[in-house]
Amino acid sequence: MKKLIRFLRNDDGIGLIEVLVALMIFSIIAVGMAYSMISMSRLTADSTMRQTATNLAAAEIDRIQSLPDPFTVYSEDDPPPTVIDGVSYSVMRYVKWVSTTGASGACGSGGGNLQYKQVNVTVTWPNMYLAEPVHADSALAPSSRINDPSFGVVLVSVLGIDGDGRSGVTVRVTPESGGGGMTITDTIDNTDVDGCTYVIKVAPGKYKIEVEKTGYIDTNQIAVPSYTQQVIAAGSTTTASFQYENAGSFVLKFAATSNLTPNLPSNLENTYIGGLVNHLKTGTASPLKLHPFASGYQGVSGDSAVCLNVDPENWTENSTMADGMRAPAAAAAPGTSANLPVPMGVVNVAIPNDNNRRYVTAVQQVTTASSGNPGCVTAKTYTFSTQFTKSTTVPIALPYGSYKIYTGSFGSTSSSNLMSSGVTPIDGVVSVDTSGTLIKGILGNSKFVSTILTLDPRQVKP
């Protein structure tokens, strides 16, 4: 009895710790099983979608191989989706010509004569469980010979600033006089979606190859760029590549640091710094079409190649003046517009009470480098076509540097018409705030001394 009573009074059993440990073990097993089931489900679904993608890739290869003309097969990296069982598949196609050298490239730019087109089809779909898409490859050969040993072939490639082809560009291949070529009678197709066109059976000789599309411009700021006197040899392939893009439109803001709208010289020339080479342009017509380099352009009034002091950045500091600076660069994306500031010095000119002295002429002075002024080795005469009202004060704008100002008949630089007073610098110093924004300023260091006007773009040191 005593043993029975002790057994009944014993409180040993399963405690809270044992329960928690059991639950944890169960949870680990349950999570593992759930993950395995989900993974199996996803693998099964992915396998089904991958099989569908494989079929789509094979069908696309079969469709391409049924086409009679490989010249009509293009790359397509953003096709409309193909929806099957609620899943959107992207069937992308990448095409390159393979040449006799074994190289491949768009438009056959790898060199050598064209042989066949290499076709790669890639199929993707949302939430691919395995990262690798489905691929299928094939080769597409023309049904007849491309290259005739008695003639040449011209391949033209037109690419935009993003490296993609530009379609719808007109291509002309014309024989050069005395070069032995012959007029091409077959119609030359505009560039296709890959930016390519092909001219076959070109008689040996010298040709000019040019491209044109409304609103487009190349990296040298030429609207109709060309390769001149290209020698097309029998049995050979010649490649002409162009970077050609929808131009940016730049609205020119002359005397951008001025609070006024001054008169501009009728023969003003300006330098636009940016791109591959600086672009010198005569006239003030706006907007100006330029190749849309992402780095943009800076406007400098005057020809900075022959007269250094028209460029504010060429002016260096001295004991009282800070370094000169240009206006910030302005950029325009293809087909868009942007304002392009062209800072200049602005002065008021008092027109004499004389009917014979109503035109203004400014003669740029040849100067040597001194006190931070870089000087000018080739001077220019700027004329103003406006016949101003006598006994009035008119603002005019000029490139930076030194000048003699004349009032007289149009273009007159007679010594009797040289201004010795009545010329007052008012504004035009180039200044940029900490954010890089162009701000207006006063020409604090500019002056008219005796008969010489100096327009200095620098700021006075604080």
From CA 446, how far away is CA 448, in angstroms rounded?
7
The SS3 of residue 80 is coil
Q: Which two tokens stand for residue 141?
A: 């050969």
| Average pLDDT estimate for 268-297 | 95
**Which of the two residues, 71 and 289, has the higher pLDDT score?**
289
| pLDDT value for 264 | 97
| pLDDT value for 230 | 78
Q: Which residues of 12-47 are buried (b: 16+ CB within 10 A; e: fewer)?
A: eeeeeeeeeeeeeeeeeeeeeeeeeeeeeeeeeebe
> How many CB atoms sit inside 10 A of residue 390's CB?
14
Asked whether residue 46 carries a pLDDT value surpassing 90, the answer given is: no
| pLDDT value for 43 | 60
pLDDT in tens, 176-225: 988 889 999 999 999 998 899 999 889 999 999 999 999 999 999 999 99
C-alpha triplet 212, 217, 220: angle, nearest 5°: 120
373, 363, 379: which is closest to 307 by C-alpha? 379
pTM: 0.79
How do beta strands 226-232 and 205-212 pair?
antiparallel
- Please, are residues 367 and 400 in contact by the beta-carbon 8 Å criterion? no
Asked whether residue 8 carries a pLDDT value surpassing 80, the answer given is: no
Asked whether residue 10 carries a pLDDT value surpassing 60, the answer given is: no
CATH of domain 152-244: 2.60.40.1120
Confidence of residue 45 (pLDDT cuts 50, 70, 90): low
pLDDT in tens, 225-262: 998 777 898 988 888 999 999 999 999 999 998 888 99
| pLDDT value for 357 | 94
| pLDDT value for 4 | 56
From CA 151, how far away is CA 205, in angstroms rounded?
10
Burial class (CB in 10 A: 0-12, 13-18, 19+), 328: middle
| pLDDT value for 461 | 85
- Please, are residues 194 and 107 in contact by the beta-carbon 8 Å criterion? yes
| pLDDT value for 76 | 84
pLDDT in tens, 327-357: 999 999 999 999 999 999 999 999 999 999 9
From CA 247, how far away is CA 194, in angstroms rounded?
20
User: Which range among 67-76, 208-217, 445-454 shows the weakest confidence by mean pLDDT?
Assistant: 67-76
Domain limits, CATH 2.60.40.1120, in the chain: 152-244
Residue percentage of the chain with pLDDT more than 90: 57
